[in-house]
Amino acid sequence: MRQRQPRQNYLGPGGWVWGGSYKIERYLYLLHRITGLGLILFVIIHLVMTTIFRIQGQDVWEATMVFLSNPWFKFGEYLVVVAFIYHALNGLRLTLQELGFGLGRPTPPIYPFTDALRRKRPWTITMIAVIVILSLVILVEFVAGGW
């Protein structure tokens, strides 16, 4: 009988997005990654503008500003601000929880089992509510200030 290698069954990076129906913290982690990558992309574009286009003098700078007052770019700027708010507040939650603060003590497991993240889920939902409210406030400010 030939010795066979077991068949690989890894989900791969697709498993970051969908591995089954889990609770919210798993998707908050995914969104944290996506906003992080989005912010990096924005920083690169922003660095290009404030270095290469700034040092070339007033005409190039003002032409860039006119180019950027396109509504699509304004919407992109709004998305960047929302991404930053989400990444910062979720990052604050992760900082506290990954250092073990705010998770509670180990408790002996009694059925039906609960875990530390489920017990602290009200705080997580509060954080999401704060993010949504701030995003709406900034949306109102963007629209009122001229799109």
Partner 1 sequence: MGTAYLRLVQLVTGVLVAVLLSIHIVLTHLDAIFGFFGVDVAEPTAWASMIERASQGVFVGLYVALLACGLYHAIYGLRNIILEVTPSIKTGRIVTWALIVIGVVVFIWGTYVPVALFTS
Partner 2 sequence: MSEGRTKRITFRVQRYNPEQDGTPYFQEFIVPSGRGMTVLEGLIYIKENLDSSLTFRSSCRMSICGSCGMLINNYPHLACHSQIEEFHSDRLTIKPLPNQSIIKDLVPDLIPFFDKHKSIKPYLIRQDIEEMENPTAEFVQLPQELNTFLQFTYCIKCGLCLAACPTSASDKPFLGPQALAQCYRYCADNRDEGRGERLPIAGADHAVWHCHLAGACSEACPKGLDPALAIQLLKRRLISQALGFGKRQRPSSVVPPPTETKPKVPFPEFTAKETK
88 counts as binding partner 1 under rule CB under 8 A:
yes
Compare residues 39 and 117 and give the one whose CB is closer to partner 1.
39
Taking alpha carbons only, the member of 132, 99, 97, 133 closest to residue 118 is 97
At 73, the amino acid letter reads: F
Per CB under 8 A, residues contacting partner 2 are 4-16, 19-23, 25-26, 29-30, 32, 94, 97-100, 103-111, 113-118
CB closer to partner 2 out of 49 and 103? 103
User: Could you say which of 50, 107, 114, 126 contacts partner 1 (CB under 8 A)?
Assistant: 50
Tell me the CB-side half-sphere exposure of residue 19, using CA atoms within 13 A.
13
Integer Cα distance of 112 and 26 in angstroms: 21
How would you label 72-92 residue by residue, b for 16+ Cβ within 10 Å and e otherwise?
eebeeebebbbbebbbeebee
Which spans of this chain sit near partner 1 (rule: CB under 8 A)?
Answer: 13, 33, 36-37, 39-40, 43, 47, 50-51, 54-55, 58, 61-62, 65, 81, 84, 88, 91-92, 95, 99, 141, 144-145
